[in-house]
A = this chain, B = another copy of it.
Amino acid sequence: MKVYHYFRSSASYRVRIALNLKNLPHELEQIHLIKQGGEQLQAAFRAINPDGLVPALVDDDGHIVTQSLAIIEYLDEIHPTPPLLPANALDRAHVRAIALQIACDIHPLNNLRVLRYLTNDLKVEEEAKNTWYRHWCEQGLAALETTLNKDARTGKFCFGDTPTLADCCLVPQIYNAKRLKSDLSGMPTLLRINEACLALPEFARAVPEAQAEAE
Contacts and interface: CB of A to CB of B under 8 A. Distances in A.
B101 A74 contact: no
A132 B122 contact: yes
A104 B101 contact: no
Given A66-B101, A103-B104, A128-B122, A73 B93 contact: yes
Interface in A71-127: 71, 73-74, 77-78, 89-90, 92-94, 96-97, 100-101, 103-105, 107-109, 114, 117-118, 121-122, 124
A146 interface: yes
Interface stretch (A1-9, A45-53, A182-190, A206-214): A45-53
A66 B100 CA distance: 9
Interface residues of A, number: 47
Interface of A: 50-53, 59, 63, 65-67, 69-71, 73-74, 77-78, 89-90, 92-94, 96-97, 100-101, 103-105, 107-109, 114, 117-118, 121-122, 124, 128, 131-132, 135, 140, 143-144, 146-147, 150
